[in-house]
A = this chain, B = another copy of it.
Amino acid sequence: MPPVRRLVVDVLKPHEPPLLEFTTSVAETEHVDGVTSSLIELDQEVQNVKLTFEGTDLDFEAVEDAIENLGGSVHSVDQVACGEQVVTDRRTLQDA
């Protein structure tokens, strides 16, 4: 199976744990070389955050478990890059 190299995941999480702790915990997941979380929106109950993972062969199930163990949930997987080569997608002229 071609390795998963980059994942962008839209996540809903409770206010606790805070984003910092949430991110460092999820970053401990095996095969994760790095993760960046960006706050998108928040209301009284939840925070909507975007998590971008990079690694040599990411394990989404392990990532999802880590998110759920912290009280979060994956709202959607927005981008997946896999294979020997990490492909950067761009808007084509139709949408440029």
Binary interface encoding of chain A residues 1-22 relative to chain B, with 1 for a CB under 8 A from any of its CBs, else 0: 1101111100000000011100
A85 to B34, CA, bound (A): 5
A6 to B76, CA, bound (A): 25
Copy number of this protein in the oligomer?
Answer: 7
Considering the complex, which residues of chain A in the window 39-63 have a beta carbon less than 8 Å from any beta carbon of chain B? 39-42, 50, 52-54, 60
Is the Cβ of B52 less than 8 Å from the Cβ of A89? Answer: yes
Considering the complex, which residues of chain A in the window 46-96 have a beta carbon less than 8 Å from any beta carbon of chain B? 50, 52-54, 60, 76-96
A92 in complex: contacting residue of B2, B4, B39, B42, CB < 8 Å = B39
Is the Cβ of B8 less than 8 Å from the Cβ of A24? Answer: no
Binary interface encoding of chain A residues 26-43 relative to chain B, with 1 for a CB under 8 A from any of its CBs, else 0: 011000111111111110
Query: Across chains A and B, which 10 residue pairs bring their CB atoms closest together, nearest first?
Result: A34-B83, A34-B85, A2-B27, A52-B89, A38-B93, A23-B80, A36-B81, A34-B87, A36-B87, A33-B85
